[in-house]
């Protein structure tokens, strides 16, 4: 018996998506454990695209030699396909449309609708030491054709980026993360003249962004004690109270949310409400926070949020379209992004991080461009001036649209790849990766140590006889 081709579950013109990010802490998956936890959170309704971002999916040594890392990535892809086929009972119907990696950062995109996806482009950008691949991001841009890629009557592009930013607490590292975030968004070169930000694109960023909850961690401080108290199981018993406490602590202490609110990074981007515990740092194989680090929401998923315009007021500012008070609430779920669930998998204990996933729907119509057509610079729009505005509540939309203190316009932040980016990514990065890779190989492998000993012996004998 031949199974029927899968049909997408869409509301009106909505595109359902599932996004997932996980810092694996350089540990290989235990297949049965990982797949069982993934099956628990996969949505019951079929999505158009499933996007999986991974950081530290292999060791630094393996990541320095792409052939070794790629073999591990193939294994991960197989696990993902098997889990999706089991969840939706679609044998041989789940297809990988993109599998891209740089160092130990990777992104896999799979779909049950391969015939609706075309023109896949990949990009990568590093920001590690000496522009190495120790930190950075990978991106994928693809075209989605609702009626199949052979029907050119309509399509829309979606751009995804998986990032792993620099770690550590303190003002210096915080500013470094902000700087690297801007650099990666600009230098992800897809070969079409644009970085991650491109007009007429839905844009998503996921990964271990490494933003913390304190600049100077003291485990005995009231702030730290309040964050560490989130591990209290008795507190979790009151689900509503726990979620409210998490929201409060995120608003007060989370560097990333504060930086978005202040317009320092990811202007015009939004993130759904966080109601889950900090995703870092845990003792491996336990549900216990490691008190050597301040509990933080390092792992995040955000999206460009400049959806739908109503027109312009007499100041030339773009206004959001929002439903009237008596309108059907399905109106804004159809024409604006709708978050179904944004959560973490608390029971996957293999890493010192917890995975984060987002199930959402987006309209077919892409958000308004934040790229100035004249200068190629970031253009701030009223819709996304604050990352805290979430497009799942009409009153928030109305408040933002009617705000009188919202300023919009072009900035000095350039968003297209430059010649310097090309030199850094195509020349400096391979050189740095080679130096780091062979240094580790010579000092951390038996065969490498033999070579190192032989080299030192030859050099010593040469010096003695000279």
CATH of the domain at 129: 3.60.10.10
Residues 222, 206 within the same domain:
yes
> Within this chain, do residues 275 and 400 fall inside the same structural domain, yes or no?
yes
Q: Is the pLDDT of residue 386 over 60?
A: no
On whether residue 89 sits in a domain, the answer given is yes
Query: For a pLDDT cut of 90, what percent of the chain falls above it?
Result: 65
Query: Mean pLDDT across the stretch 360-384?
Result: 87
- Confidence bin at 68 (pLDDT 50/70/90): confident
Query: How far, in Å, CA of 29 to CA of 214, rounded?
Result: 31
Residue 444 and residue 304 share a domain = no
Whether 129 and 146 share a structural domain: yes
Decide if 3 is inside a domain. Answer: no
Q: Using 50, 70 and 90 to split pLDDT, how confident is the model at 38?
A: very high
411 found inside a domain: yes
Q: Of 417, 442, 458, which marks where a domain is finished?
A: 417
User: What dihedral do alpha carbons 174, 179, 182, 185 form, nearest 10°?
Assistant: -90
> What residue has token string 């695209």?
49
* Percent of the chain whose predicted confidence (pLDDT) is above 70: 86
Domain assignment of residue 6, yes or no: no
Look at residue 120 and tell me if it is in a domain.
Answer: yes
Is the residue at 310 inside a domain? yes
Mean pLDDT, the chain, whole residue set: 86
pLDDT above 50: residue 392: no
Token digits of residue 277:
């515990």
Contact by Cβ (8 Å): 265, 386: no
| Confidence tier at 334 by pLDDT (50, 70, 90) | low
pLDDT digits (tens, 9 = 90+) for 115-161: 999 999 999 999 998 899 999 999 999 999 998 888 777 899 999 99
* 272 is a domain residue: yes
**Is residue 407 very low, low, confident or very high in pLDDT (cuts 50, 70, 90)?**
low
What is the rounded CA–CA span in Å between residue 227 and residue 224?
Answer: 5
Q: What are phi and psi of 319, to 5 degrees?
A: -110, 150
Instruction: Using the 3D structure, point to which of 417, 438, 453 is the last residue of a domain.
Output: 417
Least confident of 83-87, 166-170, 260-264: 260-264
More confident site: 253 or 386: 253
Q: Are 109 and 50 in contact (CB under 8 A)?
A: yes
pTM confidence score: 0.89
- If asked whether residues 116 and 148 sit together in one domain, one would say yes
Q: Which of 369, 433, 410, 384 shows the shortest CA–CA distance to 196?
A: 369
136, 279: one domain: yes
Give the mean pLDDT of 349-369. Answer: 95
Inter-CA distances, 305 with 84, 143, 201, 322, Å: 28, 19, 11, 14
Q: Are residues 309 and 424 in the same domain?
A: no
Range of the domain at 41: 14-417
Q: Both 393 and 424 in a single domain?
A: no
pLDDT value for 401? 47
Residues 333 and 212 both lie in one domain: yes
Within this chain, do residues 326 and 351 fall inside the same structural domain, yes or no? yes
The whole-angstrom distance between residue 397's C-alpha and the CA centroid of its chain comes to 25
Q: Are strands 156-164 and 201-208 parallel, antiparallel or unpaired?
A: parallel
- The Cα 52–Cα 108 span in angstroms is 5
Is residue 9 in some structural domain? no
Quick: pLDDT tens for 7-36: 544 444 789 999 999 999 999 999 999 999
Supply 199's token pair: 């007009």
Domain boundary among the residues 417, 433, 456 is at 417
Question: Do 224 and 345 sit in the same domain of this protein?
Answer: yes
445 and 369: one domain? Answer: no
Band of pLDDT at residue 183, cut at 50, 70 and 90: very high
As for how many domains the chain has, the answer is 2
Q: Does residue 18 have a cis bond before it (omega within 30 degrees)?
A: no
């Amino acid at each position: 018996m031949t199974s029927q081709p899968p049909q997408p579950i869409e509301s009106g013109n909505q595109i359902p998506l599932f996004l997932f990010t996980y810092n694996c802490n350089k540990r290989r998956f235990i297949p049965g454990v990982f797949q069982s936890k993934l099956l628990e959170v996969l949505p019951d309704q079929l999505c158009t695209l499933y996007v999986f971002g991974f950081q530290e999916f292999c060791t630094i040594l393996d990541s320095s030699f792409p052939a070794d890392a790629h073999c591990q990535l193939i294994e991960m892809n197989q696990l993902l396909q098997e889990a999706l086929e089991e969840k939706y009972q679609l044998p041989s119907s789940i297809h990988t449309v993109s599998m891209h990696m740089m160092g130990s950062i990777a992104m896999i995109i799979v779909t049950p609708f391969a015939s609706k996806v075309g023109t896949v482009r990949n990009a990568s950008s590093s920001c590690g030491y000496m522009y190495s691949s120790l930190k950075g991001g990978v991106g994928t841009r693809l075209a989605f054709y609702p009626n199949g890629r052979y029907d050119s009557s309509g399509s829309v592009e979606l751009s995804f980026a998986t990032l792993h930013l620099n770690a550590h607490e303190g003002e210096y590292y915080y500013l470094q993360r902000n700087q690297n975030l801007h650099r990666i968004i600009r230098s992800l070169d897809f070969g079409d003249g644009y970085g991650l930000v491109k007009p007429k694109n839905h844009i998503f960023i996921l990964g271990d962004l490494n933003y913390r909850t304190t600049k100077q961690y003291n485990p005995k401080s009231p702030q730290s004690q309040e964050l560490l108290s989130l591990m209290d199981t008795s507190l979790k018993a009151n689900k509503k109270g726990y979620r409210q406490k998490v929201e409060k602590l995120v608003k007060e202490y989370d560097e990333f949310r504060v930086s978005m609110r202040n317009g320092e990074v990811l202007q015009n981007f939004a993130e759904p409400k966080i109601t889950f515990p900090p995703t870092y740092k845990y003792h491996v194989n336990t549900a216990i926070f490691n008190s050597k680090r301040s509990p933080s929401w390092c792992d995040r998923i955000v999206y460009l949020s400049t959806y739908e315009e109503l027109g312009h007021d007499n100041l030339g500012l773009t206004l959001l379209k929002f439903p009237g008070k008596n309108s059907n609430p399905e109106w804004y779920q159809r024409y604006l992004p709708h978050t179904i669930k944004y959560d973490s998998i608390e029971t996957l204990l293999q890493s010192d991080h917890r995975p984060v996933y987002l199930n959402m729907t987006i309209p077919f119509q892409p958000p308004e461009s934040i790229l100035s057509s004249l200068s190629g610079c970031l253009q701030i729009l009223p819709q996304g001036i604050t990352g805290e505005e979430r497009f799942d509540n009409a009153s928030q939309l109305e408040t933002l649209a009617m705000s009188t203190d919202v300023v919009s316009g072009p900035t000095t932040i350039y968003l297209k790849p430059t010649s310097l980016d090309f030199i850094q990514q195509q020349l400096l990065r391979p050189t740095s990766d080679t130096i780091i890779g062979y240094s580790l190989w010579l000092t951390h492998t038996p065969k490498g140590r033999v070579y190192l000993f032989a080299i030192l012996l030859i050099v010593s004998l040469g010096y003695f006889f000279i």
